Amino acid sequence: MNIVQLDTGLFPDAQTVIAALRQMASTHRVDVVDIQRRDMQDSDWDGVIAALLAADLIVST
């Protein structure tokens, strides 16, 4: 399964979800996309969209 962790910084319990995703990384592909960066360019956002479209599951943290 292709899982994308969308790092938004919006959820106070994100560390619990991140720990669970780390355990899943041994059997599933887990990509972390950090959208909190302030220096993101259009090409970075294109990569975010591509990752989201390719994902089987999206988890926001």
pLDDT digits (tens, 9 = 90+) for 45-54: 999 999 999 9
Residues 6 or more apart whose Cβ sits within 8 Å of residue 6: 33, 35, 52, 58, 59, 60, 61
Structure pTM?
Answer: 0.81
* Per-residue pLDDT reduced to its tens digit, 18-60: 999 999 888 999 999 999 989 999 999 999 999 999 999 999 9
Q: What is the pLDDT of residue 56?
A: 96
